[in-house]
Amino acid sequence: MTKLAEVTLKIDGMRCAACVSSIEKGLSQLGGVAGCSVNLATKSASVSYDGSATSEESVIGRLKQLGYSAVAGQPDILTTNRREVLSARELLRISLALTIPLVALAMWPTWAGQQLLPIPFNGWAQALLAAVVLFYCGRSIIADALRQTRHGRANMNSLISMGSLTAFGWSSYLLVDSYLSSTSQPLYFESVGMIITLILLGRYLEARARGRAGDAIRALVDLRPAKATAIIRSVEIEIDAATVQPGMTLLVKPGERLAADGEIVEGHPVIDESMLTGESMPVEKGPSDQVIGGSVNGNRSFKIKVTAAGEESYLAGMVRLVTQAQSRKAPVQKLADRVAGVFVPVVIGVALLTLAAWYWFAPDSPMLIRSVISVLIIACPCALGLATPTAILAGSGRAAREGIIIRGGDILENISHLNAVIFDKTGTLTHGELEVVEVVAMDNSSSRELIRMAGSAERQTDHPLGKAIVRYMETEQIEAAPVTNVQVRPGFGMQAIYRGGRLLIGNKALLKTERIDISDKTDVAADEMSQGRTVVFVALDGNLIGLISLGDRLRGDAAKVVAELRKSMDRVAMLSGDNYRTVAGVARSIGLEYYEAEVKPDQKQEVIESYQKAGFRLGMVGDGINDAPALAAADVGIAIGGGTDVAIEAADVVMVRSNLGDIIKMFELARQSMRVIKQNLFWAFFYNVLAIPLAAGLFYPLFGWTLSPMVAAAAMAFSSVFVVTNSLRLNRLPLD
């Protein structure tokens, strides 16, 4: 099977959901294209294709045939949005400056009972002002409509252009006819000015609001410092941060942002990583610890050796992830795209039908032209195209600020549909590191003396259990004692000479081999093991003098997170490669009813698939290292605990910080995001359904209800603003 190539394109010329539908349909008809996803909010398309059948150039060429320009590359949401805001603001200012006197000229007789200008000049002045507004301020709208017409398509700009040109053309005809016949007839030039001005106002407000949805990316980009201090041949030199390369040594001064990722080679700083990881408290670091570019140094200078910089840095990776996430659409958007694909032609048909009906039944009615214009303007499907992508922009951006990287709108929707969660144990529900949790001294020994014996002997080995005991001894500030003749006994433990006596440290099998009676302590050991702990026995000169219980410490919020998930999920479970007794003990301590033990890494995927076959839509939470196959197999793979390269590649969601509580935040954010998307789609659909009959004048003969072109333009423009503003509520969603 041929491997598919993928390309992301930045597209110029997209205006509404109808454009999205046209592009996707047009590209799917190109031979070799396997899939295409177009995003209106980011003005981009992701295309997968068979490289042996077509090429990137052919895809771009096809877009040009469809009337759009495109270049390869990730969408620069910030730059594009800034350009759109500036352009929309300038055109709005000019349009507004011309429309105010235009409306005054048209409305002055109504307000004052007389003409502002003499009759021969009033209409011509209106026509001139309306022409500048329409053909200068609205030139991009008309140009795009003409381009769409040349390619046999129609979009939002087609409807606006048809409505405004109809009003301008009909008014121009009436103006000339009035001049020739010396009569006065109603003109619609002010409607043209108001339509274009309100459309531009809507686009300006929409662009500003959409820019706020990209705040997550902007916040990450702003973390990059402009300068850095490099140490070259023992000399401190200030350099441009963009020139930092791996292998360089940097001096980070108090209060400075780190210019690159690196490893501390000198110093013990306290670093604020909150903007990158969401961790509220500064973190103490020391030599050999890793640091992340963009984080803020506390009050101590330190030196790092750069391990990654520029586009290879952790910060750049997060920016790419968030950008890619905001470019991927949710499946729910497909419905909107399909509707938009046929909506514009249907609206044009309705407008023609409206014209025919009024011409047939009431040719002298002012509704003849006004209703057609109103239908064309009110039905623009802009809100429909923005309903989903703006919510994804805001939702994924909000998640990123919490240190939760959701890799696309489709993932966001999948999360909201999950009904089961399965956790890996080691490194996920636990810290993945053994520690001493209980010391039981016997035979007149003290717990400190017991740790001194065991720790002093274990210092001479590299066994994980021994390291945990040594760490505990150092933490408790217990001085080591002389221990000699240390001998490791594989599978059992070790032996040594302590103060002339024979010291044994190991499992139950070791003591049984040495014929040391532990029958009266079996219950104590069994109780510790039932809690998922490992028990180390310590004997001196043939007598048991104590037990040391070690366990993989549970994360402090594990039980709380499990309890919360059980309220909303049909199944919450755990799987682990540890022995059954240990896993059962952990499950009991955090309130888990379902668990799988002694599962090898290559078997985890099979467990996931068995749950899926049983009808569960499953989220898998793992540490992203040996859980990669299981993360990829789950409906949603969630990597927690550091965001390693493997996690980023295999998981759908990356939890930057090791905080299980972020899983609850993720589910809440996904549910709220889908709720906002549905609200947006409901508004966009039913707004058109209710407004079109009113605009067409269906209720005018009976009740006198109608919709003027100006009101239609305002309603259409602000429907888009409403959708974007509704999406932005996600930025303020409380997740704590």
| Residues assigned a catalytic role | 424
**572 and 594 Cβ atoms separated by less than 8 Å:** yes
Gap between the Cα atoms of 549 and 440, Å rounded: 8
Residue 333: CB partners within 8 Å, gap ≥ 6? 387, 388, 389, 409
**571-575 and 594-596: which strand pairing?**
parallel
Q: At what angle do helices 409-417 and 314-327 cross, to 10 degrees?
A: 80
376 with 343: CB under 8 angstroms?
no
Residue environment code for 167-194, b if the CB has 16+ CB neighbours within 10 A, otherwise e: bbebbbebbeebeeeeeeeebbbbbbbb
Residues 170 and 188: their CA atoms lie apart, in Å, by 8
Q: What are phi and psi of 629, to 5 degrees?
A: -60, -40
d(CA 293, CA 146): 49
Distance separating alpha carbons of residues 663 and 295, to the nearest angstrom: 24
Residue by residue, DSSP assigns 613-681 as HTT--EEEEE-SSTTHHHHHHSSEEEEESS--HHHHHH-SEEESSS-THHHHHHHHHHHHHHHHHHHHH
Where do we find the tokens 């409901």?
682
CA–CA separation, 654 and 258 (whole Å): 22
Q: Which residues contact residue 673 at a Cβ distance below 8 angstroms, ignoring those fewer than 6 apart?
A: 391, 392, 394, 395, 412, 416, 730
Helix, strand, coil tally for the chain in percent (to 5): 55, 20, 25
Contacts of 401 (CB under 8 A, 6+ apart): 216, 219, 278
Residue in this structure with the two tokens 């009436």, named with its chain if needed:
174
- Of 220, 225, 284, the closest CA to residue 250 belongs to 225
Amino acid at site 659: N
Task: Judge whether 563 and 421 are in contact, CB under 8 Å.
Answer: no
End-to-end CA distance of the chain: 47
Return d(Cα 165, Cα 284) in angstroms, integer: 67
User: Does residue 404 contact residue 670 with C-beta atoms inside 8 Å?
Assistant: no
Place of tokens 């506390």: 298
Q: 133 in the Ramachandran plot: left (φ > 0), alpha (ψ -120 to 50) or beta? A: alpha
8 Å CB contact between 347 and 306: no
Which DSSP state fits 414?
A: H
Q: Which residue has the tokens 């749950």?
A: 611
Q: Which amino acid is at 72?
A: A
Buried b (16+ CB within 10 A) or exposed e, 350-389: bbeebbebbeeeeeeeebbbbbbbbbbbbbbbbbbbbbbb
- Contact status, residue 636 vs residue 654, Cβ threshold 8 Å: no
